[in-house]
Structure 1
Amino acid sequence: MESFSSFFDSQTASRNSWSYDSLKNFRQISPRVQTHLKQVYLSLCCALVASAGGAYLHILWNIGGLLTTFATLGCMAWLLATPPYEEQKRVSLLMASALFQGASIGPLIELAIDFEPSVLVSTFMGTAIAFACFSGAAMLARRREYLYLGGLLSSGVSILFWLHFASSIFGGSVAMFQFELYFGLLVFVGYMVVDTQEIIERARLGDLDYVKHALTLFSDFVAVFVRILIIMLKNSAEREEKKKKRRG
């Protein structure tokens, strides 16, 4: 009974500690780590701009596809294999991988623009707000509080991989596709939190590789963005179909 009461007391205390002042309290993050996080998020913003440029190039010249996907993976692998002291080269590889990634999801973005452009804007804003909220939660949380979720999320990615593999061989169903979509969204939203806290912990230990950390967060952002966009397009298509049935 004492353990239960102490648990509820700690939960009550943690809830009471959340106030406006606690939201402004970043004293647990050292100035060096704060500077590192600024570099990471600035690099992330530049990568998102480069990704938008890649999507625009696809709309102009229809370049997105399997080749740009392989180019994205190649640039990422090249970046990770490049020593940290070659900073300019690694930043260029980050922007190149973001550009190719934008071109790779260009067909989906083009479909959204042709179907309903407002869906694309809503998806980006929703992803950005979710990213900011979950990253902020990771920064304000106690040290290493969410890192234990990394194992569960890795298991989730493994489940998604085997489900996709099974669907490609035996054929998938609508129910399996929806499960993959929503479960994948949950997994990568979790990675937003875990990766942010892991970046902070690594920076505390002296790992100030902001390019690699920006690449990690960029991958999380794109994974969530793509899934939210597919969900919103699917819901919009279902609404349009219902309207047509009512008119008919």
Structure 2
Amino acid sequence: MEQFKRNFNSHLEASVCKHLVNVYTTLSMSIVLCILGTYIQVSREIVTPQIGALFVLVSLFGFMCVSSTKQMFGIRLSMLLACSFWFGVSLSPVIRMVLLFNDPTIITTALTGTALIFIGFSICSILSPSGKWLFLGAPLSTYLLSVTLLRLFMGGNFALEMYIGLGVFCAYILYDTQLIIERKRTGDGDVLSHSLMLFLDFVNAFIKLLRILKDKDNKKKKKSN
């Protein structure tokens, strides 16, 4: 750990280090609120998933419309945390399906696995040479656009796409982490927007990993039957 701290501090400027600490602190709060939203919705069902998704859009729209000034920081933080909570609520149908038809430990495994993946790729990105992973932006965006169009015209969710999708969001962790560092160096210190970027990477990686584990569990049950 001491060696890692020395490498971390020597690789990044003090202002960037402080910014990343604030970003990851806010990200942790968002993940906790997301988990809480899922837990409350699964246990009590406070609203329909569609209403939850609508609240996500409303919170996100409000977050994007409010200016990123110090005076508005508290309001934007509240909107970000509200967006995270309702995001968790909107994920409840997927979690409920796993609880009903699969091994419930899959959820814990997926969450733990996603956390380890996120930490590993984040450290790799932070300690990599400046700008090394920024070239990933264009191909990743092209892939997501292509997959979206294919789903619109062909539908379905292929097994191979889940594995590729997990790899894509792992690559996004590399890309977004370095993008945040470079933006901070150029004067963009918007902690909340940067936290939102990483939050979406975390959630998408979790969903992909959960579906992979769910698919494996279904295949195992079919073989046993």
Q: TM-score, normalised by structure 1?
A: 0.84
Match of 2:66 in 1: 82
Counterpart residue number, 2:85: 99
2:114 equivalent to 1:131: no
**Partner residue of 1:39?**
22
Residue aligning to 1:110:
96
| Counterpart residue identity of residue 76, structure 2 | R
How far residue 123 of structure 1 moved from its aligned partner, in angstroms, is: 0.4
CA–CA separation in structure 1 for the residues paired with 2:4 and 2:20? 19
Cα distance in 2, alignment partners of residues 23 and 35 from structure 1: 13
Q: What number of residue pairs does the alignment pair up?
A: 219
How far residue 183 of structure 1 moved from its aligned partner, in angstroms, is 2.2
1:119 maps to 106
Identify unmatched segments of 5+ residues in structure 2.
Answer: none
1:51-80 CA-partner distances (Å, limit 9, x unpaired): 011101211333352221222122112112
Q: For each residue in 1:82-115, what CA deviation from the matched residue of structure 2 results, as whole angstroms up to 9, or x when unmatched?
A: 1112000011011111011101111111222332
Query: Which runs of 5 or more structure 1 residues have no equivalent in the other structure?
Result: 1-19
Q: Residues 138-171 of structure 1: CA distance to partner in whole angstroms, max 9, x if unpaired?
A: 1000000000110010101111111111134xxx
Aligned to 1:156: 143
Distance change >3 Å, CA 68–CA 25, structure 1 → 2:
same
| Cα displacement (A) at 1:22 | 7.1
Cα contact 1:64–1:107 (8 A) shared by 2: no
Deviation track 1:187-230 (CA, whole Å, cap 9, x = no partner) reads: 11111110000001111111111111111100010001001001
**1:223 aligned to 2:207?**
no
Task: Let me know the Cα RMSD of the aligned residues.
Answer: 1.6
What TM-score do you get using the length of structure 2 for normalisation? 0.92
Percent identical: 30
Partners of 1:163 and 1:180 within 8 A in 2? no
User: Separation in 2 of the partners of 1:61 and 1:236?
Assistant: 26
Q: Distance in 1 between matches of 2:14 and 2:3?
A: 19
- Look up the equivalent residue of 1:178 and give its one-letter code: A
